[in-house]
Structure 1
């Protein structure tokens, strides 16, 4: 049994499928589907992922092609197709992102959406929708679907499983040191076929083998740069990170980073033994010679200042000796006044 109704950009479908059936669904581009199971159980399958829905359960599907499999007692479901733009980015559109988003059973809008959409589907083909125009039906359905997406926003905001590419790189980083580790092992860990995983890596402009090689090289560079592993030879480090010999490690490093294992160690040793950029401060070599006369305190200050200049430290001020002022007494007038006084005395003697 299959009933269908269309209200603008929203399409409704009521369908019953016998037990043990498996069908392939090809949805329209840029649309999302909401499945609400009315009776029985079914599985939604996409990219080796399976989501089981029981009676009363619901899930959003963001995929253009996927499979449905009914339960042992058959399945009756309601399907609502609507534009992806109504989700406002709540549901990701990436190929690596999860494609099925179950709706929590605690959602208060799930039952009203199911009841309203079911009533809009006519009982028989060609019959009119019950007492509501297509425009208002579309608007009400869109608002209810948006409210349902908002209500499950917290559930969708829960940290999702990592994307396929990120998950595969994590697997490679954790297991690349095993020399028997291959691309098939990566595909098995992420639950994908080897061909599907290769297409995922091709979209990121890389390959599985290259990522495995680069991960091993990074581990080798880390060990070669650590002085704690100087006792290990290049061959031992190569076997430890997953290469067969030191020569294969050297070839891989030269092709990837244009550097050899010996150059990594030589560069580290050169950096550790290089002279510092600032020379060490300290007392100057040899005794300091201080010329000039002065008191003992002045000579000490001059020696300290010369020592600071030689060691490039803070300069200490060197006090200058105070100039001696001539003693001026009343009976010893300045020389400039002496001729005038002599002239005055001579005039007094003449009188």
Structure 2
């Protein structure tokens, strides 16, 4: 694909990085408006979908003749937060240095989003007759349980799609499976009292915090029973947040723990919840907060073959075809739309949300060519 505007690609990547879109609170609307404005400059209309105060998705459709289902390009506008004191470069300066673009979102995933925008423009300008639509679906609130993607589904704007390409970080390898994320909240109940008058209390002393601590020791030793996936391996468990108690002298009446379980195909939310309830004990309850299912596209699927062929054509070598432990908007979109999912992105795996986050410019430019080539192979 030789129509990629690399100057536009870098400029848009930098302008997106310069916008602060931490989720929470999000504030993705200016980024969505920027993308819409750039698309409009090239005759591509888009729709802003409000999902809350100063928050919006942006969705555009490059029309085909309707003989084939649409292809979705998926990326998100939000990022995680940043501690600027830890960085050696300004996190919103979008500094270009030694072949890299630095800044929050450079890897995850504003530069990749820009590559999809520019690839979409290239497809539009190619004047190739498209057999189906190319949908540019850029979401807000991916970090907030994929709320933007859920809104897209509810709106029906993605109906009629046949495949999903996500540009989360892969180092330009081809990821065809991702773990799911199951979020549970454990709540321990205690017996409120004052430590000064607790001489007769024994064991956990009626403290919700101690009861939670005992439960979490059992969580530490829990091996979630699950099939072992050939690309994703086994589930993992993390206790990410604990809250409880009132003050130093008061026996805690309640304590909560937020638990993240990365799931694999074949393991249901009900299976996991049942295993946690088995070890909960009499004072701890387990509640489901959110579930994002794992996604698994068969390696032999024609869409996988097509994506691999595009990477080979650009890179001259066979990419690694594998799975990844993070989740993406595909967790919401792919099952609901019943479409195959492939992830290809220029960002480095493991650099999402890192200090001095960056994307390599040669991979960024290559990704835009790959995205455009995939679209034309699938739609033209």
TM range (shorter): under 0.3
- The TM-score, its normalising length taken from structure 2, stands at 0.17
Higher relative contact order (CA 8 A, sep 6+): 2
- The TM-score, its normalising length taken from structure 1, stands at 0.18
- Bigger proportion of residues as helix: 1
**Larger Rg, first or second structure (1 or 2):** 1
- Bigger proportion of residues as strand: 2
